[in-house]
Amino acid sequence: MTAKYLLLAAAAFGIAAPASAHNAWLLPSITVLSDTVQSVTVDAGTSTAPFEPNHNAMGIDGIKVWAPDGSMGKVENASRGRYRSTFDVKIDKPGTWRIGMENNGIGGTFKVNGEPWMVGRRRGPAPAPGGAARAMATPPAPSAAPAAGAPNGPQGGRPRIDPSHIVATIDEIPAGATDLVLTETTGRNEFFVTAGEPSDTLFKPTGKGLEFVPVTLPTDLVSNEPGQFRFLVDGKPAADLEVEVVPGGRRFREADQAQKLKTDAEGLLTVKWPVAGFYWINASHTDDKPSNPKAAKRRMSYTATLEVLAP
């Protein structure tokens, strides 16, 4: 996500298992409405288990609202608390709505005069204008070598990046930079709401990246019937793609009932629902087909919240 953003970035579109990392989720109050005079309230957060607000609120500046006719809706009454953000969406057109985040970006590392630099989100002061280019022309000042085991030492893991050595985009990387290790990331994190009769106008694939194409409409899911969804990569079936399916309410059950499933040769995923309720589904795929020639890899993720009703 993204995001995971990614908005993705890692916080919005986490792709690791919920047991081992903080993953982003969107939780609507309801997804099936009888008319178009209602609103949906949404919680948004990140945590080790979906829908449990116990870690951090999710930033929602990147939320988009697609109405069934292709027009854009809007977020209302947005607020942010310690563990979750909330917002409302007015559902004023019949059909199936798509609500969530989508992000594209490139991040990674490179070197200037042998010093490590990074493309990514800054957490400190921005470099001076032309800072990377200027560093290319200025030999690095000698510095004391860090002790073994220190954060920057040979046993300290990934070296720290000086905040002044972080650029926001790949366009800021100087022409003479070396050791480029760049990854293109794309992702979505979303849910669906239907008012009245469902529609499929928003599910037509674009042929770009990792895409979710429902066979069973996502607001027609019931616990006694399997749901089927197709995943595509650049318009072609994403065969053997691992998809994690996690029901909410983990703390109320002895087992978390999470499933790790795989798509078939046609990219089709079949899911049996152990219980009714909200589900967090997540898939990711990495390849060497980025759209930007400066990147070596492409990492794609898809996350959705689905509501499964009792029969």
All structural domains of the chain with their residue ranges = 9-104+185-308, 116-178
Report how far residue 62's alpha carbon sits from residue 233's, in angstroms, rounded to the nearest whole number.
Answer: 24
Fold of 9-104+185-308: Immunoglobulin-like (2.60.40)
Compute the average pLDDT of residues 293-309.
95
Provide the 3-class DSSP secondary structure of residue 75: strand
**Structure confidence by residue, pLDDT tens digits, 13-61:** 333 333 346 799 999 999 999 999 999 999 999 998 999 999 999 999 9
Whole-number pLDDT of residue 116:
93
Query: Where residue 306 falls among pLDDT bands split at 50, 70, 90?
Result: very high
Give how far Cα 263 sits from Cα of 52, 189, 230, 275, Å: 28, 19, 8, 21
Average pLDDT rounded to a whole number, residues 193-216: 96
The closest alpha carbon to 93, from 76, 72, 78, belongs to 72
- Give the residue, 12 or 124, on which the prediction is more confident: 124
Residues 152, 158, 163, 165: is their CA dihedral positive or negative? positive
Average pLDDT over residues 6-15: 36
Give me the pLDDT at residue 164, please.
84
